[in-house]
Amino acid sequence: MANILVTGGAGYIGNVISNMSLKNGHNVRVVDTLWFDRDIPLVNKDNPNYEFIEGDICDAGLVDRLLENIDFVVHTAAVVGEPATKKFPELTRKINYQASRDLIDRAEAIGIKGFIFLSTCSNYGIAEGIASEDTSLKPLSPYAETKVDVEKYIMEKGCSIDWVICRLSTVYGTSPRMRFDLTVNDFTLNAYTKKFLDIFLPYTYRPYIHVSDVANAITNIVDKFDTVKNNVFNIGFQGENHQKIQIAEAVKKYVPDVKIELTDKGTDVRDYKVDFSKFKSYLGLSQKFTVEDGVKGVIDMLDRNIINDPSEKKYYNTTPDIGALG
């Protein structure tokens, strides 16, 4: 049993990581500002192994309390995604880079066992061939730029604490803090509600991973930390590099009357395939969910009216409340 701090632990990915860590027998402390949804269901609030702290990692006075008696930090907190980071560049720099640096420094000073940083495969930007962990990084947004800068800080600082950098594939699937602005979820929602998909740059590639497979990867990294520490991993699975048109075709299997239009222009020019052989060799994990599973999960959520109004802005990282962000 480990004591784990999950920053952003009520968010789209952090929530699922927190839940799975508890199921694996760990103690979990979550810090989150609840930017998008103050009423997010904290399903574990009565679990004696779960502690929720509403707070901001930019609050230097809070950080030592967050790190008290912690073995591992799983750092997911960030302004996430290209639209939000372009809208709030100074805030993005403050949270994604400076607060991350300060958190690393304090974790090092306190002497925690391990720091697990959730980065992104978007760092590759546009890649020729298949990108491995050694491929040159070409970040194309403030979001990816800040992730790259934190990676450099961790690797070049020579930290006395051990670390793992996780470059995540594009995530999809259902979560207690749902997002509909991610490709698979977005395509599924629009096909279901509008029967129409307008796909820009449909033949560009991206790797994809279900949010529960992300959580499984992170909890396994905690459990096997001594064998994986001080490494960078692309987090995903071989065979899961897909073009946007392939995602649309997966959606069409379950919403057959959707109309699809293709546009060869667009502002998001990211185009990369990623190699996951290092992740496989170290952790040996198998994929539990496919893109089609993700599509079916979103459709099931909509069929059951678990979310009454999926157009509400709290389900989109593109529309954060700047007042809440500080």
Please tell me whether the overall predicted TM-score, pTM, comes out greater than 0.75 for this model. Answer: yes
Domain with CATH 3.40.50.720 in the chain: 3-172+209-236
Q: Supply the pLDDT for residue 41.
A: 57
Q: Supply the pLDDT for residue 39.
A: 65
Q: Supply the pLDDT for residue 322.
A: 45
User: Tell me, which fold does domain 183-206+239-273+289-323 have in CATH?
Assistant: UDP-galactose 4-epimerase; domain 1 (3.90.25)
Judge contact between 207 and 236, C-beta under 8 A. yes
For residue 4, give Cα distances in angstroms to 30, 49, 60, 241, 249.
Answer: 8, 10, 19, 31, 39
Strand partners, 126: 271
Q: From the first residue on, what is the mean pLDDT of each consecutive set of 10 residues in the chain (326 residues)? A: 96 96 96 80 80 94 96 96 83 94 95 97 94 96 95 87 97 96 97 97 97 98 98 97 98 98 89 97 98 98 95 82 45
Pick the CATH number of 3-172+209-236 from 1.10.1040.10, 3.30.830.10, 1.10.8.50, 3.40.50.720: 3.40.50.720
Beta strand pairing call for 205-210 and 241-243: antiparallel
CA pair distance 26, 147, nearest whole angstrom = 27
CA pair distance 191, 222, nearest whole angstrom = 38
Q: Supply the pLDDT for residue 35.
A: 81
Q: Supply the pLDDT for residue 323.
A: 43
Judge contact between 13 and 215, C-beta under 8 A. yes
Domain with CATH 3.90.25.10 in the chain: 183-206+239-273+289-323
Task: Tell me the torsion sign for CA atoms 255, 258, 263, 265.
Answer: negative
